[in-house]
Every structure is written in C-alpha cells, then in structure tokens.
C-alpha cells in the first residue's frame, strides 16, 4: 500500500496509458512515481518498459531497464520485445544473449518467436540456427508460434529443406504455419511446392487466409500456372478476399506474368481504387509481353488520373519508348524522370542510356554516360551495346579500353559485346587480346563468350583459331554452330561447312536451325553437291519445318546452281508467296545453263504477277543472251531495262553487252558501249574481247584491247599469247 493508492490502482493506470499509447501521460505518471519514491520497483519497471515500448520510446525504456534493481524474467522479455518491435533487431539479440547469461532460464515460445523474427529481419541466419538448436536441446516443444517463426526464417534465407523439415515436424499445423511456408516458397520463385501445399490445404478442408492467397497467387505467376491461377482467383471471389487491395493487385500481376493481359486488364478495371502497385503490375505485364503500344496508352491513362509514376513504372515506360513512340514522347518521359529526381538512380540511368542508344542518339546516350558518377558494369554494358548496335565499332573498342583503365572488370556480357565490335571491324589483334583475357578469367567455355569469339575469328578470316575455340566450347548452342558454319561459308570453305554440318547431324542433340540450313544450302550450291542439298530438303520435309520464303529461295538457288532446274521449279511452285529473290534465283539458274527461252518466259511471268525486275534480274537475262549469242534479244532487253524500267546500267550490265556484241562480231556497238561505260572494263573483259577479235580477225580493235589489257595486267601472259595468235591468223589469211 502507498500514499497514492494501492499498487493495483497504479498498475491499472499504467495499463490504461499503455493501451492508449499516450506517452505524455506515461511520462507524467513516471515522474510522479519517481517523486514519491515508488521506483525502482520490479513490477512497476516491467509495466513502464511496456508502456514506453508501445509508444516507440526506446530511450526511456532503456533508462527504466537500467534502473531496475534486479530485472525479472518479465522485465527482460519486455525490453527484448521493445527493441524487436521497434526495428532494433540487433540490440534485441544482444539483450537476449545478456538475459541467457544472467538468468540462465529457458525462454518461452513467444520470446523465441520474436528473436527468430529478428534473426530473419537482419539476416542473422547462423544466430537463428543456434536458437533452433537451443530450443531442441532444452526440450522446448515446437508449437505453431515458434515453428512458424522458424519456417519463416529458413524460407526467407532460402533454406527450404530446413524450413520443410520444421514444417513437417510440427505436431499441429495450422493456417499460420501453412502461410509461413507457402509465402516463403512463393517469395523466392519456388512456385510448385507452394501450390502443392495449397492444394493439400484444400484436401484437408483448411480455409486459406489473405496471406496464403497472396502466396499462392504469386506462385502461379512465377510458374506461369494460368489454370491454377484462375482456380485460385475464383476462390478469392468465393471467400470475399478479392476486394482486398493487395489480393487484387496480386491477381493482376499473376495474369500479367502468365501472359493473359486481357484477364489482367479485366481484373484491373474491376479494382475499386487502383493504386500505384496496380498500375505497376499492369504496365510491367504489357512490357513483358512486348505490347508497347498498350504500355504507353496505360501510362497516359494513369497520368490523367493524377497518379505519379514510380521507379518501376518509369523503367517499363523507358523500355516501351526504346521500341516505339516518338522521340518527343521519349524526351517528355526523360523530363519527368528528371523532375522526380530519379535520373541519378543507377538502374534508371542505365535504362535512359539504353533508350537513347537504341533510338540512335548516341551523343545523348554518351552524355548521360559521362555524367554518371558511379558507373557500374551495367552502365558500361549498355553504352557498349549501343555502339555495337549501331555499328560504331571503333567507338565501342575505345570505350572498352577506357573501361579497363577505370579498373572495371568485364563480365561475359561485356566480352560478348566487345567481340561483336571486333568481328564488325575485323580487328584481329584486339580479338586475340580479348581471347587471352577471357582465358585468364576462365570464360572461354561460356557458350555466349565462346560463340562470339568464334564469330570474331571467323570474320577476321582466321578459321583455324575459330575452329579451335569452337571445339573447346563444351555445350554448344545454335549461336556457336551458326557462327562456325557461317564463318566457313563466308570465306569459301564449302567442304568444311558440309563436314561440320554432317558432324552436327551425327552428334544428335539440337536440330539444325534456319540459319544453319541456309549456310549448308549455299555451300551445296557453290560446289554443286546436289545430293547433300537434297538431304537438307528431305530433312526440312520430315521435320515439319515451315518452308518460308527465305529458306525456299535458298533451296531454289541451290537446285538451280546444281543444274536441277526441275527441282528448283518444283520448290518455286510450292512456295505460298514469292518475291523478287525467288524469281531471281530461278532466272539466274536458267541463265547459267543457257536456257534463254526459259529465262524470257520466267521474265514475262514475273511481270504478269506484278513483280518488277531489278538490276540483278537483268544481269541474269543479259548473261543468258550473251551465252546464247542472241544479240537482237539482248539489245531489246537492255533497252527495256534502261527505258521501260529506268534502271541505270551498271558495269556488270555493260560488260554483258560488250561480251554479247563481241561474240557476234558487232565491234562498232562494242566501241560505243566502251565509250559510255563509267568505269573501264577489267582485265577479264579485255581478255574476252581479245578472244572475240581473234575469232573475227579484227586486228585493229585487237590492238586497242591488248593495250588496255597490258596496262591492267602487265605480268599476265595470256593477253600476249592471244595477240600473237591474232597477228598469226591475219598473216595466214594474207598468204
């Protein structure tokens, strides 16, 4: 008993003040208690600590605790919980250690659960595992409260095996324990076990709560489980949880991640008050599905409702602006980012650099890059990628040099990017230096790096080194095979192309893709191995690959070059759509084999279908006329090209006409053409003219041709021999 009434009365006052969280009244009562000598008192101290803890006044709670003469177990509990509940988890763990040393007691499950939550919050996994071991050693029964806290800790630290062991070991699992493990699985992308547990809950008639619905919906999104997501959505409607803003937003996010944007939008417009999270889920979904027009439309709608975009939404909008929309729109978004003071954010800055680099404004991208104070590997990668994308290979190589001087260590993406620059610039020395650095960093066997290295060496014409790198890549992908095959093909190594293609088929594994099939068809056409080409054709038929216009054109070209014109015509006729390349491949094949009538027929048919011949088509037509010696027809086609189709004659066209007229002895026409040619004929053309002069005994024009030939190829004897033969033939004629 005291002068201020009974102890019970004071405790009632402390309880009332704690419930109301009126810290001012609490301080007043505390002062009165000190004034009248009621402190320190263990019971009063316990309640004062709780009062200050409830109001977040940790300083005063610590003062009361320090003044407590002999803290009871409840005093310790109070101060530990005060720190744990006020985001002072590290101090809570220190106090727990002090309590265990001083009191040597077994804490109750509620305190243990709070300590485990503190461990989870600050990532003190090892400490949490010690608590778990301590609980087992002391024989503490893992009830739902402490068990759920342990599950939550292990799950958030990605130790799902340990979390599941605790879960399975609980004697009585309830909604809290299910919620802890389902949420843990879902938050870290382990959707399937989360959904299995959710379905198990249904089998035992346990009704899910809001937390479990959120976890299950997130699991559906991470696993693209649209059917299960629809089922859970229906359950949220049935249980009346769908009206919860967090649940509604998660449903929108689930449908968006599953690619069902129509359903995502339907749920979105049904939300009573869409917030920034709702808009973010919808806009991000459209971005992931590359529906950039919808992204920009939703962005305008959001702004019209007065909602200010956040970092996540701006990142989505920047990606959309990189792919479509006007430059003015992109600049407006950039200005908004500056207004929101987000331009300095590393991720946003990288997205802005990517935006302007993709749009081709490399100066603006570089200005942003140079203004970055703390560049990370992503910032460098984005700028390098921009240069390479727009074929500014020298700039990319220079920037990479600056990057290395800055002490930033390249990753595999940067190496891949810079190797593309080496390939584009045919910079062999730089590629070799990169190769050495890649080997030191043990990245040579990385498939993306290895493939880019193969491509760089192939473009630099060092096929032996390219093949060595290719053979060293353990897990080759389509890019690796394509780079090596294309390298052989581009540099006239057709037999090596075919050998490598056969190796791929023999090894099994991946089926040849379209790029590889195009390479092998080109190789077969170049060296006339029609049997290999037919094998590719049969492979396409058997595998059910779509014979699109690109693959079809390559097949026509291969058959035509190999002289299999019936097969070429069959493929041509079977194409659902034909373009100028299709017609050109067939016409060129017929021209190479001297089938002028077929060439003329195809030319007329092509024009009847509304396809206008181009300069390459006319090169084939004139070549056919030349080989057939059809001067009249050739000249008619030449006039049609120049007058009707308004195609300026190229040196190739003029060479064909020179060859045509010289073959039939029309040297006056040849001289007129030579005078009109913008570029003089090459040595091969003069050789052809010399041969024609010998055939028709034209000594005067032969001398002219010989003089021009000697100027171009003074060390080649064939022209001299032909001229001697012309003199000899003329002398014999005079005899």
User: 292: part of which helix (H) or strand (E)?
Assistant: helix 292-304
Q: Give the pLDDT band (50/70/90) at residue 38.
A: low
Least confident of 153-162, 253-262, 339-348, 598-607: 153-162
In 643-709, beta strands by DSSP E: none
Average pLDDT over residues 393-418: 94
Question: What are 275's two structure tokens?
Answer: 């917030």
Asked if pLDDT for residue 136 goes beyond 80, the answer is: no
Q: What is the mean predicted confidence (pLDDT) over 325-333? A: 87
- Cα separation, 628 vs 608, whole angstroms: 25
- Judge contact between 619 and 653, C-beta under 8 A: yes
Query: Does the pLDDT of residue 428 top 60, yes or no?
Result: yes
Give pTM, 2 decimals: 0.70
User: Which ranges constitute the DSSP H helices of 441-579?
Assistant: 447-459, 463-472, 478-490, 494-507, 514-527, 530-543, 549-561, 565-574
pLDDT digits (tens, 9 = 90+) for 187-219: 888 889 999 999 999 998 899 999 999 999 999
Return the pLDDT at 734. 52
Tokens of 536: 């590719």
Got the DSSP string for 34-81?
Answer: HHTT--S-HHHHHHHHHHHHHTT-HHHHHHHHHH-SS--HHHHHHHHH
Q: How far is Cα 177 from Cα 197, in angstroms, rounded to an integer?
A: 11
Is 5 a residue whose pLDDT tops 60?
Answer: no
Look at residue 4 and tell me whether its pLDDT is greater than 50. no
Checking if the pLDDT of 6 tops 80, the result is: no
pLDDT tens by residue, 487-532? 998 888 989 998 988 888 887 667 788 888 899 999 999 888 888 8
Indicate the pLDDT class of residue 473, thresholds 50, 70 and 90. Answer: confident
What's residue 225's pLDDT? 93
Q: What rounded mean pLDDT belongs to the chain?
A: 86
Written as six digits, the tokens of 4 are 């201020």
Residue given tokens 């009632």 in the structure block: 12
**Residue 3 pLDDT > 50, yes or no?**
no
pLDDT tens digit sequence for 652-685: 887 888 888 887 888 888 777 777 777 777 787 7
Mean pLDDT of 614-624: 90
Taking only the tens place, the pLDDT of each residue in 573-593 is 988 889 999 999 999 999 888
What sign for the dihedral angle of Cα 488, 494, 496, 499? positive
Which sign does the torsion angle of CA 569, 571, 574, 580 carry?
negative
């Amino acid at each position: 008993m005291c002068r201020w009434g009974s102890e019970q009365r004071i405790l009632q006052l402390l309880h009332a003040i704690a419930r109301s969280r009126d810290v001012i009244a609490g301080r007043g009562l505390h002062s009165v208690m000190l004034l009248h000598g009621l402190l320190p008192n263990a019971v009063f101290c316990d309640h004062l600590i709780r009062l200050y803890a409830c109001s977040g006044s940790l300083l005063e709670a610590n003062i009361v605790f320090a003044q407590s003469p002999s803290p009871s177990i409840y005093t310790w509990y109070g101060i530990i919980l005060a720190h744990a509940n006020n985001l002072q988890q590290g101090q809570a763990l220190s106090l727990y250690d002090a309590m265990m040393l001083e009191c040597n007691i077994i804490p109750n499950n509620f305190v243990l659960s709070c300590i485990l939550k503190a461990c989870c919050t600050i990532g003190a996994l090892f400490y949490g595992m010690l608590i778990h071991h301590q609980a087992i050693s002391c024989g503490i029964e893992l009830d739902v409260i402490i068990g759920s806290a342990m599950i939550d800790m292990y799950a958030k630290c990605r130790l799902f095996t340990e979390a599941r062991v605790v879960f399975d070991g609980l004697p009585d699992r309830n909604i809290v324990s299910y919620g802890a493990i389902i949420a843990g699985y879902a938050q870290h992308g382990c959707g399937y076990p989360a959904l299995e547990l959710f379905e198990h809950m249904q089998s035992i008639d346990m009704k899910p709560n809001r937390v479990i619905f959120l976890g299950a919906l997130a699991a559906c999104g991470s696993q693209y489980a649209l059917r299960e997501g629809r089922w859970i959505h229906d359950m949220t409607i049935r249980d009346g949880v769908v009206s919860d803003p967090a649940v509604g937003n998660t449903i929108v996010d689930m449908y968006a991640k599953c690619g069902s944007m129509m359903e995502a939008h339907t749920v979105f417009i049904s939300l009573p008050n869409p917030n920034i999270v709702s808009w973010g889920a919808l806009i991000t979904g459209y971005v992931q599905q590359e529906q950039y027009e919808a992204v920009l439309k939703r962005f305008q709608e959001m702004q019209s409702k007065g909602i200010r975009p956040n970092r996540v939404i701006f990142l989505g909008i920047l990606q959309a602006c990189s792919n479509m929309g006007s430059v003015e729109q992109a600049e407006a978004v950039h200005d908004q980012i500056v207004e929101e003071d987000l331009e300095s954010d590393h991720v946003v800055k990288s997205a802005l650099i990517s935006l302007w680099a993709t749009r081709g404004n490399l100066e603006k991208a570089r200005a942003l890059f140079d203004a970055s104070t703390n560049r990370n590997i992503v910032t460098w990668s984005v700028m390098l990628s921009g240069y390479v994308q727009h074929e500014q290979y020298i700039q990319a190589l220079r920037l990479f040099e600056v990057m290395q001087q800055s002490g930033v260590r390249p990753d595999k993406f940067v190496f891949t990017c810079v190797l593309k620059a080496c390939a584009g610039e045919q910079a062999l020395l730089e590629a070799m230096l990169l190769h050495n650095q890649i080997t030191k960093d043990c990245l040579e066997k990385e498939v993306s790096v290895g493939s880019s290295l193969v491509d760089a060496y192939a473009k630099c014409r060092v096929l032996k080194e390219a093949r060595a790198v290719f053979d060293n890549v353990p897990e080759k992908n389509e890019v690796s095979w394509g780079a090596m095959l294309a390298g052989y093909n581009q540099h006239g190594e057709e037999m090596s192309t075919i050998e490598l293609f056969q190796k791929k088929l023999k090894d099994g594994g991946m089926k040849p893709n379209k790029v590889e099939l195009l390479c092998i068809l080109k190789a077969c056409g170049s060296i006339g191995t029609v049997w290999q080409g037919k094998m590719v054709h049969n492979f396409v038929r058997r595998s059910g690959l779509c014979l699109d216009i690109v693959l079809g054109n390559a097949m026509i070209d291969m058959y035509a070059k190999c002289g299999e014109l019936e097969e070429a015509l069959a493929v041509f006729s079977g194409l659902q759509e034909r373009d100028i390349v299709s017609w050109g491949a067939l016409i060129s094949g017929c021209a190479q084999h001297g089938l002028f009538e077929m060439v003329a027929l195809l030319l007329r048919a092509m024009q009847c279908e509304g396809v206008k011949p181009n300069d390459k088509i006319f090169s084939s037509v004139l070549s056919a006329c030349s080989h057939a010696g059809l001067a009249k027809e050739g000249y008619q086609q030449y006039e049609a090209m120049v007058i009707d189709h308004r195609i300026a004659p190229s040196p190739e066209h003029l060479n064909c006409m020179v060859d045509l007229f010289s073959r039939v002895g029309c040297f006056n026409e040849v001289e007129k053409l030579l005078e009109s040619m913008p570029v003089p004929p090459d040595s091969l053309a003069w050789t052809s003219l010399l041969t024609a002069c010998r055939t028709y005994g034209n000594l005067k024009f032969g001398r002219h041709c010989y003089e021009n030939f000697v100027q171009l190829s003074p060390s080649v004897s064939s022209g001299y021999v032909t001229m001697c033969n012309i003199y000899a033939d003329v002398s014999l004629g005079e005899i």
